[in-house]
Structure 1
Amino acid sequence: MKLLLAADLVPTSVTEKYFEEGDIRTLFGDVCDVAKEADRFIVNLECALTHSDGAIKKFGPNIKCTPECINGIKKLGITDVCLSNNHVFDFGVKGLRDTMAALDGAGIPYTGIGENDTDSRKPYYINKDGKIVGIVNVSEHEYTYALPNRIGVNPYDPYLTMQDIREARKNCDYLIVIYHGGKEYCRYPSPRLYNLAHEMVHQGADAVICQHSHCIGCYEKYEGAHIVYGQGNFNFVFAGYDCPECWYTALLIDLDTETNNIKFIPLIATETGCDVAHGDIGGTILAEFESRNAQLLDGSWRDGWHSFCTSPEMSYYHDRVKAAGTTEENTHWFAHYLDCEAHTDVWRELYKTWNHTNELDK
């Protein structure tokens, strides 16, 4: 089965009208031609398709577009949608159900959500000519994950997700994990994400695709499986936001599940969406990608991760953790509480995020 996998798709105030009108050539350029060659086209829809103004309480932007934007999504040939991400619940239960209704109306199936946390874990299967491709779609914890008593996305869990991968692998010929996580704008995995992706392969994944970072990261082939640490955006023209340079390039993944061959198609952002990056531009994107891939082999990716964490742009030493830097003792107390599993368990129990109270009356 020939699959085309794209990352973050968000119709915005700039592109909304083109999506509504189904003007895919303006939105996607030569991607329109690439899409015709795939058996299935899988994308991460990272916003609510809704007219609701009921934004949930959260840190970060609440993102939505009109349900009519489904016209462009369908016309491009997108066949399957992943919803386990940190924005699809930005307008609560109403926004998510409107999104589901728009996809249902267009005949586009989706995965990564459920009526509760257990239901959200159900795997997704694509059957073509007797061959079955499975997808496990999970997201890191922000303001969208399902609860025992509320609809939401499939939350990553270090134990349950591995169990889900093992179970899904029993029922398919090829298994893809689409993991919505990793640090925004970082081109390298954290040591945690690196080990996590490897363990997903050990549990049965043939490919692990990490999205969410809004930048192209790096790639490795590990024990015969493909691991991508960051695809970049797909179509996300964020007006009024000073985006970093890495925002404007991305990769489409062309994956053949019969041969296990993978191909990376470079993309460049345009004023109205995205396009295939041809010539020198595309060559440069891929050359820089290959350079980072080599760092996964020689171990220097860890230096890249550390440099990112200590950069001024990250400002992780800001006022919210200022006490940690007041004395050497306070700094080490803070580090210890982060490092020790039992202490972080207590923190999570005492300090619940708004996700635990948002929309419980809906």
Structure 2
Amino acid sequence: MVYTDGVHHPSLVELARAGNFQAIAHWLNSVLMPHGMRASVGGIRPGCLKVLVEFALSPEQHELSDPWRSQLIRLICHRIWKLNSAQIEGVRIAGKLAHEKAVLWEQGVRVVSPARRARKQRSQQLRTELRQAAQQRSQMKTMRSMLISGPPIFAFVFGCVLGLSKAPSQETNAIASSSLPKATPSPNPAVRPDTVQTALETVPVTKHDRVPDPNDPTVTLMFAGDVTLSDHFADAIGQDYERTFANMDEYRKADVGMVNLENPLTRATIPLPDKKFNFKADPDSVKALTSGGISLVNLANNHAMDYQEPGLLETLETLKNAGVEHVGAGRDVKEARRPEIIDVKGQRVAYFGYYGADFESANENRAGTNYADEQSIAEDIKAVRSQVDWVIVNYHWGEELATHPADWQVNLAHFTIDQGADVVVGHHPHVLQGAEIYKGRPIAYSMGNFIFGGNPRSDYDTAVLKVALKDKQMKVEFVPVEVRGYQPKVASERSAEILNHLADLSSGFQQPLRSPIALEARPSVPATTAVTPTEQPVQPTGAIASPEAPATSTPTETVAPSPSPNESVQPTPLQKEKQPGFANPSDSFITSPNRTPLDSMQPGANGFQGATPSSDSMVPATEPAQPNAPASEAEPDHASLPQKKLLSFVPSTQRRTVAASPASHSHSVPQPHPTPAPQKQTSAAEKHRNDWVASEHVGAELIPDVSLLAAMAW
């Protein structure tokens, strides 16, 4: 007989906490299946889950409401948070109807459990201790060298001084004149190859000779926000494409002008299904770009695939025929990741474009956008860093109409600079956001709308980013722009007001970008190490800078970059005051009413045939942390959860109430009942439904993550 009393069999909760997909699916389905839903769990990358929820609509329901979706996301996040796993940091949740292939919605969420936070703190503390120990060792070596070599050096110096003082003047002059002359640099520097080796392939260098002034050694780059040449723009401009940039000479005077093109240039007729807004413009409208001096566009965005692969392929062909380069999308993953290397007046600039949704991303056999994965970003930048002079990275990211970037965007931007990027430019929110200087490099988080015909509003203020390159220096400034009738022009009367607005938006950063500013070029040695941004806990480390309103006559400030891009730097703190559209943790919580949309669904009426969980590996990087209050193996009870807020910085009494609207894209936040319901015997379904209430116990921060974020309709 064999006794196994000493053998430990891991429980379901232990397996789920360690990252086992089947155990996590069982943990979620224990509360979803009684309501007629089923979840399949897979992996995106270590630490990030993907959860596909299948459900069936009841006869009374004809469509899904935003409150229903928000409460479902909240329930799943709460269940994952209750695992208290140190291995799980984020989840991408998608929903679809049973027996249908199309995904109806998708949202990325970062889940910060106590165990995960403790692991980050331990990691940060360990890095600090290692850095301090290295500094102490270096100091000890220096002191020991001084103690050992101090007396001989002193004797040698004293002897030299004494000998020179007694030597004849003729001999002294002879010795001085016998020194070798300094070598002069060669007037003909080494010729660069006409190709650059990237992470995936060898890319030819594009010689950009169409410049306004070839005799001017300064290279001028311009960056603007979202451009949509369809819908209301087409109605207002018609086919008079040259009228678009008729008043914007500043852009035509630039050597390289770039925008984010948010519509395919195609005559395709089949739009992307199950999407609210699908934009497209006639291929002839590319003339609006060429007449305005646009020589490069970013296609890594949520509208590049609005008319599926045929629309994107026709767009690529249209841009090629018009002489407009592109980044961020392609016929396959190799072309989508391919940077555009442009040689302008002898300076080589590498352009990259990334978008955070992977369901529209390209692969080996499918056209699509360039997926913003941290590992790929690091590989792409490091591969070309030593072969070019400047690296520009574009991100289509963030939350629409948010006036401040989220913490994950700041982390990703800093991560990008750490890998070797010189400029980071963002778009998608459709409004201007602030800008900062990090390690001597500029980051503009959102350039807002430039010419956006997808919105009937044709008059608004915005700005473009102007970067001038000369003599290993980079001058960065904002150019205020007024758009009237979808026609941009440099602002005159409203110039100071626009710049002051940008200064206010930037004031929350540790080092706001004060326009204009001159920055030194990077050293020639490329970056060699990287620190994943998710490993750095986002905590304020300094005081918030006071806003300083720039004026057009402000003298240029010069900032030298950090000598080593590998140093450990604390994340830049953002403003913690409530700002309109800012992703405060308290605004991410959803207080559910006593009655949920699941009440109208009949359990067991769906007949699922869900897909098996993905076999992607999720190997814990370290030993799972033992939480103080581990999840119980029995049916979870909210009474066992902490009675205090875990992640919200604002008390619940101060939280902002958002009115529920079925057509709104915002999460609804109804107020809970002031008095608890009387105690009574509850059914199993009611026990499961308790996971939808008591927002004070919810520990999941609904923070979008760039590698989890889905495409959001405008």
* TM-score clears 0.5: yes
Aligned partner (choices 260, 278, 292) of residue 474 of structure 2: 260
CA distance in 1, matches of 2:441, 2:377: 18
My pick for the range that moved more, 260-269 or 139-148, is 139-148
Tell whether 2:245 aligns with 1:28: yes
Does the alignment pair 1:332 with 2:332? no
- Contact 2:245/2:288 (8 A) holds in 1: no
1:191 corresponds to which of 395, 400, 407: 407
CA contact (8 A) 1:21 1:71 kept: no
Amino acid across the alignment from 1:14: H
Kindly indicate whether the alpha-carbon contact (under 8 Å) linking 2:313 and 2:331 is maintained by their aligned counterparts in 1: no
Is contact 1:15-1:273 (8 Å) kept? no
- Aligned mates of 2:221, 2:330 — CA distance in 1: 24
Q: Give 1:269 deviation, angstroms.
A: 2.8
> Is residue 138 from structure 1 mapped to residue 354 from structure 2 by the alignment?
yes
- Structure 1 counterpart of 2:524: none
1:291 matched to which residue of 2?
504
2:694 maps to a residue whose letter is E
Q: Is the 8 A contact 2:220 2:469 kept in 1?
A: yes
**Alignment partner of 1:42: what SS?**
strand
- SS in structure 1 at match of 2:294: coil
Distance in 2 between residues matched to 1:2 and 1:325, nearest whole Å: 56
1:60–1:325 Cα change, 3 Å: farther
Tell me which amino acid in the other structure corresponds to 1:289. Answer: L
Task: Decide which structure has the larger Cα Rg and report it.
Answer: 2
> CA 1:251/1:239 → structure 2, altered by over 3 Å: closer, same or farther?
closer
Deviation at 1:23, TM superposition (A): 2.8
Which secondary structure does the structure 2 equivalent of 1:257 belong to?
Answer: strand
Q: Partner of 1:230: helix, strand, or coil? A: coil
* Local SS of the residue matching 2:507: helix
Question: 1:353 deviation in Å?
Answer: 8.0
CA 1:58 to 1:163, structure 2 compared with 1: closer, same or farther past 3 Å?
A: farther
2:316 to 100, 119, 131: 100
Q: In 2, are the aligned partners of 1:181 and 1:211 still within 8 Å (CA)?
A: yes
What is the one-letter code of the residue matched to 1:277? A
**Larger displacement relative to structure 2 (108-117 or 33-42):** 108-117
Give SS of 2:379's match.
helix
More helix by share: 1
Deviation of residue 330 (structure 1)? 10
From the superposition, tell whether residues 70 and 329 of structure 1 become closer, same or farther in structure 2 (CA, over 3 Å).
closer
Displacement, 1:98? 1.3
Residue by residue over 1:207-233, the C-alpha shift from the partner in whole angstroms, topping out at 9 and shown as x without a partner, is 111111101000111111000111111
Deviation at 1:324, TM superposition (A): 9.0
Q: Cα–Cα, structure 1 residues 59 and 210, in superposed 2: closer, same or farther, change >3 Å?
A: same
TM-superposed deviation, 1:249: 2.6
Q: How far, CA to CA, are the matches of 1:37 and 1:294 in structure 2?
A: 31
203-212 or 5-14: bigger deviation? 5-14
Matched, 1:276 2:490: yes
Q: C-alpha separation between the residues in 2 aligned to 1:36 and 1:143?
A: 36
Q: Distance in 2 between matches of 1:11 and 1:181?
A: 21
Q: Find out whether 1:124 has 2:340 as its counterpart.
A: yes
Aligned to 1:359: none
Contact persistence 1:6–1:252 (CA under 8 A): yes
Q: Give, in angstroms, the shift of residue 114 of structure 1.
A: 2.3
Is the CA contact 2:316–2:330 (under 8 Å) kept in the aligned structure 1?
no
Q: Which residue pairs with 1:83 in the alignment? A: 299
Aligned residues: 333
Relative to structure 1, the CA distance from residue 285 to residue 314 in structure 2 (aligned partners, 3 Å threshold; closer, same or farther) is farther
For residue 96 of structure 1, report the CA deviation from its aligned partner: 0.6
The change in CA–CA distance for 1:324 and 1:41 in structure 2 (over 3 A counts) is farther
Instruction: Name the structure 2 match of 1:57.
Output: 273
Alignment partner of 2:443 out of 227, 230, 235: 227
Report the alpha carbon displacement of residue 142 of structure 1 after superposing the two structures with TM: 6.6
Equivalence map 1:294-309=2 (5 Å) = 294-297=507-510, 298=544, 299-303=573-577, 304=579, 305-307=582-584
CA distance in 1, matches of 2:229, 2:359: 20
Distance (Å, rounded) in 2 between the aligned partners of 1:58 and 1:254: 38
CA distance in 1, matches of 2:692, 2:385: 50
1:8 aligned residue (223, 226, 231)? 226
Contact 2:435/2:443 (<8 A) preserved = yes
Structure 2 residue 393 is the aligned partner of structure 1 residue 177: yes
For 1:151 and 1:163, locate their aligned partners in 2 and report how far apart those are by CA, in whole Å. 21
CA displacement 1:81-107 (0-9 Å, x = unmatched): 211111011001111111112111212
The 5 A counterparts of 1:67-82 are 67-82=283-298
Distance 1:236 1:62 in 2: 14
SS of match in other structure, 1:260: strand
- SS of corresponding position for 2:239: helix
Provide the rounded CA distance (Å) in 1 between the counterparts of 2:422 and 2:399: 23
| Aligned CA distance change for structure 1 residues 300 and 202 (closer, same or farther; 3 Å) | closer
CA distance in structure 2 between the partners assigned to 1:75 and 1:329 by the alignment: 54
Task: Give the distance between the partners of 1:47 and 1:99, measured in 2 at CA.
Answer: 9
Alpha-carbon shift at residue 199 of structure 1 (Å): 1.0
Cα distance, 1:149–1:178 mapped onto 2, change above 3 Å:
same
Distance 1:20 1:287, change over 3 A: same
Does the aligned pair in 2 maintain the 1:215–1:249 contact within 8 Å?
Answer: no
- Supply the distance in 2 between the matched residues of 1:353 and 1:134 (Cα, whole angstroms): 27
Higher normalized strand content (fraction of residues): 1
AA aligned to 1:193 is: Q
Counterparts of 1:187 and 1:93 in 2: how far apart (Å)? 33
Report 1:147-226 matches (<5 A).
Answer: 147-226=363-442
Residues 325 and 340 of structure 2 are in contact (CA less than 8 Å); yes or no, is this contact kept in structure 1? no
Deviation of 1:61 (Å): 0.7
Structure 1 residues 148 and 294: CA distance shift in structure 2, 3 A: same
1:357 equivalent in structure 2? none
| SS of aligned partner of 2:496 | helix
Sort the Cα spacing of 1:114 and 1:272 in 2 relative to 1 into closer, same or farther, 3 A.
closer
- Contact 2:354 2:371 (C-alpha < 8 Å) held by counterparts: yes
Q: What letter corresponds to residue 396 of structure 2 in structure 1?
A: H
Pick closer, same or farther for the CA change 1:285–1:193 going to 2, 3 Å. Answer: same
